[in-house]
Amino acid sequence: MRISEKTLDLLLLLLLLVIVVGLPYGILSYDRYFWPQNTSAEAKVFTLTGHAQRGWILGEVQARDVVSLWQKNGHPIENPVIKVSRGELVVFKLRSSDVTHGFSLKDFEVYLTDGIEPGKTVLVSFRADKAGTFTFSCNAICGDNHQIMQGTLIVQA
Ligand SMILES: [Cu+2]
């Protein structure tokens, strides 16, 4: 049996639809697949988004939203302060809204070597086993504000 051109067109259209619909779904399930392995129910999870001018922003922020957020908050750089209790398992979900950033929290031996590329999520976790005030920073030179791209982790006893 000969397949008519119209049928072939329809098949190609269907194939295209499957790809267009399936791709985002595939990416989402990929994200989900990796997520549970790296966390546990008791973990304290924080999302940090890096921005070359704005520094670390608490939460997941898209590049297009950074400027309006910045204008709303006034200050160009307002470093995030994260509070946890001693003994808690802490997970940072690290994102970038623009260029490749890095992450280091020396006091807990957290040090990224591969960087945080835009569009990807890098998970780091550690046990907050000592109380105090600690500084985390960006360890990939990302622009003029790289030196002040920092945040504070407070571990309460
Ligand atoms: Cu950076």
pLDDT in tens, 37-93: 445 668 999 999 999 988 999 998 887 777 676 666 665 557 899 999 999 999 999
Give the chain's radius of gyration (CA, Å).
21
pLDDT score recorded for residue 133: 98
Q: CA–CA separation, 24 vs 21, rounded Å?
A: 6
125 pLDDT exceeds 80?
yes
Contact yes or no for 65/76 (Cβ under 8 A): no
pLDDT score recorded for residue 139: 96
First to last CA, the chain: 77
Gap from CA of 98 to ligand 1 centroid (Å): 9
Gap from CA of 93 to ligand 1 centroid (Å): 15
**Average predicted confidence (pLDDT) for the chain:** 85
What confidence category does residue 100 fall into, taking pLDDT thresholds of 50, 70 and 90?
very high
Q: CA–CA separation, 83 vs 45, rounded Å?
A: 11
User: Which residues, 6 or more positions from 121, have their beta carbon under 8 angstroms from its beta carbon?
Assistant: 31, 93, 94, 95
Gap from CA of 37 to ligand 1 centroid (Å): 27
Gap from CA of 113 to ligand 1 centroid (Å): 13
Torsion of CA 68, 124, 35, 94, to 10 degrees: 10
Is this structure's pTM higher than 0.95?
no
What confidence category does residue 12 fall into, taking pLDDT thresholds of 50, 70 and 90?
confident
Contact yes or no for 128/91 (Cβ under 8 A): no
Gap from CA of 136 to ligand 1 centroid (Å): 11
Gap from CA of 111 to ligand 1 centroid (Å): 13
Gap from CA of 125 to ligand 1 centroid (Å): 19
Location of structure tokens 């119209």: 6
14 pLDDT exceeds 90?
no
Gap from CA of 48 to ligand 1 centroid (Å): 11
At residue 90's C-alpha, the angle toward residues 154 and 156, to 5°, is 30
Distance of CA 78 to the CA centre of its chain: 18
Location of structure tokens 């990939």: 140
% the chain with pLDDT above 90: 57
